[in-house]
Amino acid sequence: MAWAWVKHLSKFHKIHLITNCEFRADLVSGIRKYSLENKVLLYFNDIGERATRMGQNQGDWRFYYYYRKWHNETYKIAKQIINTHQIDLVHQLNMIGFREPGYLWKTQVPSIWGPIGGLSQIQRNFLVDINYSLKMKYYLKNIISLLQLKYSNNVKKAFKNYTQIIAANHDSKKRLLNHLKVDVPVINETGAYSHFSTLSNQLDRYDDKTLNILWVGRDLFTKQLNLALRIIAKSRRDIRIQFHIVGLNDNGSKKYKKIAEDLKISEIIIWHGIVERMKVKTLMQKSHIFLFTSIMEGTPHVVLEAIENKLPIICFDTCGQGDCVNDEIGIKIPLENPKKAVEDFSNALLHLNNNRELLANFSRNCIKRCEELSWGSKIEIMNDHYLNAIKTFKK
């Protein structure tokens, strides 16, 4: 995500990029590939292998100890750069989470932090049918996140001193307004690419009697595949369905296959497992609806990829997907409780199955929506924030 921002921003700015060493080879290769040697200057601050592994293992709270130290060193490097180069603005484009905002606000030049997220909380109504330890994990995470947001000195200083702060989605914007009385603009942290294939233009697939529904995700509680299976079980009473599931390893497939058997829907499911990205795109281009049941996200790349492949979406009206999906390309379901969700998603599927022209129109409208969510559009908005930060900055 950060590389995409850098690559697109470099069309308008000379960038001094301070980053970890984890993707050093890829960054050097990318700069050469796009001839950015004179536009992007690299400075590496190594967080260390142990901390890198912790960061990759999402949920390991020990990572933040090392991450704060990394930010301290990054601030020192930034001061050296500012002392030797003409720097008009600093941009803290870190991991989407708000917990470690860095210290670039101390550099005495205009500063931006964001897009930031990690502010959404798991709805308690969805903490059902899971073991006690997992339930307690999410309860504690909700509590700790709220305490950090309201009482962390680093976070409070960041919100007070960064010239401009940007939220990654409207859920984060609302939470900042409710708890910190801070009103910030929204830019989703990742963007879409408008490369439409000829296969995705074949709208006659919406005439098929069988409704091909695609679900993509990992074996995580927040992805809510168990909920998706219940939705399919209810919907199949009225609709001829083929349900495609992508992203599970053998262990995950085994667990959910048992649920599918209990729901008596095994014969209408195709388990694709973990596949290459191009196969996911092909499946998107051949499917009719993307069923996205996740209840906790940033801005999901897979939702943007569905839009890029002109695949209508049904999802919860929450997180980044709630921002990306509008009523011209899909249907959003209120995030209330699992029982009502099964009813609402099933009604949406039935409505679209019975209105195939509407489904085809959703697919056509993805072209316009993709342009609205494109990297070009985001960079244009970010450039406006850069100019505003420079104009309003006070030492």
Tell me what pLDDT residue 225 has: 97
Check residue 123 and give its pLDDT.
Answer: 87
pLDDT tier at 2, thresholds 50, 70, 90: confident
Burial of 159 (0-12, 13-18, 19+ CB in 10 A): buried
User: What's the pLDDT score for residue 65?
Assistant: 86
Average pLDDT, the chain: 92
Decide if 172 contacts 299 (C-beta within 8 A). Answer: no
List, for residues 47-75, the tens digit of each pLDDT value: 888 887 877 776 677 888 888 999 999 99
DSSP state of 393: -
What is the mean predicted confidence (pLDDT) over 142-170? 93
Q: Which of 290, 295, 306 is nearest to 224 (CA)?
A: 295
pLDDT of residue 300: 94
Q: What is the pLDDT of residue 203?
A: 65
Could you tell me which of 345, 378, 363, 348 has the C-alpha nearest to residue 306?
363
Rounded to 5 degrees, what angle do the CA atoms 166, 194, 366 make? 85
With 60 as the cut, is the pLDDT of residue 200 above it?
Answer: no
- Enumerate domains of the chain plus CATH numbers: 2-190+376-392 (3.40.50), 199-372 (3.40.50.2000)
Q: Do 191 and 320 touch, CB atoms closer than 8 A?
A: no
Distance CA 140, CA 279 (A): 38
Tokens of 269: 């499911």
Q: Is the pLDDT of residue 198 over 60?
A: no
* pTM for the model: 0.91
Q: How far is CA 106 from CA 70, 81, 90, in A?
A: 15, 14, 10
pLDDT number for residue 328: 97
SS (H, E, C) 307-334: HHCCCCEEEECCHHHHHHCCCCCEEEEC
Q: Among 27-36, 44-53, 177-186, whose mean pLDDT is lowest?
A: 44-53
- Using alpha carbons, select from 289, 336, 288 the residue that is nearest to residue 316: 336
249-278 mean pLDDT: 93
| pLDDT band with cut points at 50, 70 and 90 for residue 83 | very high
Q: Which residue, 301, 327, 334, is CA-closest to 313?
A: 327
Per the listing, tokens 């390991």 go with 60
Left (φ > 0), alpha (ψ -120 to 50) or beta: where does 277 sit? alpha
DSSP 266-279: GGGEEEEES--HHH
Q: What are the phi and psi torsion angles at 76 (to 5°)?
A: -65, -40
**Are the C-beta atoms of residues 301 and 4 closer than 8 Å to each other?**
no
